[in-house]
Amino acid sequence: MNVVSQYARVNGLNMHYVTAGEGPAVVLLHGFPDTHAIWRRQIPALAAAGFRVIAPDLRGYGKTDMPDDVGAYKIEFLADDVVQLMDALGIDEATVVGHDWGALIGWHLAMHAPQRVSRYAALSVGHPKAIAQAGFGQKLRFWYMGVFVTPVLAEGLLKAGNWAALRRMNRSREQQQLWIDALSPPGRLTAALNYYRANLKVSGARRWKPVDVPVLGVWSEHDPALGERQMRETRDQCRAGFEFARIDGVGHWLQLSGAERLNSLLIDFARMSDAAVQA
């Protein structure tokens, strides 16, 4: 599969992305602490299934420019980057797939730019309102965020012991090294943490509203940060239909350990959008 690395000028930034295949567009949005490389098992499968796949490095990550200001990482700017990338590539609408922070960006797009999102697949992260209402247990799962929003402390703890905390997040040595290589250059780890620092202190009540695009919510059994309840109750926030899928035996990075099952789900879901267009 020919995966091409390219750049586009987006919101005054040079945004790096990879693309493969031809056909209806599928946009893949990564989260913390990833780059486009987290989708390496999905890109070939989707492209082979007849889709044009676009996987960017979101601002601050990978080979995309990283603004210095914390405020530059607010969710509305992150989402507008995706819209402008689609504009630059001549894509009117796409099936959007988001994981972790990429899922929150996807939710923002589904709410505020629904004309650009034909269907939305949210991986791990349910609708923000469903998360807020998921109870005390879900709040406990987010304990690490209190560390991540603290400048200097978070950077020091994550780098300590040759990135020991980061290595504990995933057993794959390949993935561990990809993270370390991407976050080691000066400023990159801080840029990644700025997603938390720019967004967690702002009340989302005014912007998190129900969505009017079809949604697939995929949750993995051993996700330490996100419980099943928040994804199942996302159904209440999806007025154009919601499909829930659970992948057992895998953790937060279901793109890797649950790739075969996830790929099947995403291909079937994206094909529903393609069929709607053809009809």
Which 3-state string (H, E, C) describes 67-89? Answer: CCCHHHHCHHHHHHHHHHHHHHC
Q: State residue 279's pLDDT score.
A: 41
Rounded distance, CA 49 to CA 44, Å? 8
| Residue 96 DSSP SS3 | strand
What residue ranges in the chain does DSSP mark as E strands? 4-10, 13-20, 25-29, 52-56, 94-99, 117-123, 215-220, 242-247
DSSP assigned state of 223: -
Residue for token pair 């082979």? 48
Q: pLDDT tens digits for 14-64? A: 999 999 999 999 999 999 999 999 999 999 999 999 999 999 999 999 999
Rounded distance, CA 210 to CA 79, Å? 17
Rounded distance, CA 88 to CA 27, Å? 13
The answer to whether the CB of 21 falls within 8 A of the CB of 50 is: yes
Q: State residue 215's pLDDT score.
A: 98
Instruction: Annotate 8-62 with DSSP letters as a single string.
Output: EEETTEEEEEEEE--SSEEEEE--TT--GGGGTTTHHHHHHTT-EEEEE--TTST
Q: State residue 277's pLDDT score.
A: 44
Domains of the chain: 4-140+206-278 (3.40.50.1820)
Rounded distance, CA 149 to CA 201, Å? 9
Of 102, 27, 35, nearest in space to 62 by CA: 35
pLDDT less than 50: residues of the chain: 203, 205, 277-279
Q: State residue 208's pLDDT score.
A: 86
The strand order across the sheet containing 4-10 reads 4-10, 13-20, 52-56, 25-29, 94-99, 117-123, 215-220, 242-247
Rounded distance, CA 105 to CA 120, Å? 11
Which residues does 275 contact at the CB level (< 8 Å), separation at least 6?
A: none
Q: pLDDT tens digits for 107-137? A: 999 999 999 999 999 999 999 999 999 999 9
Q: State residue 206's pLDDT score.
A: 53
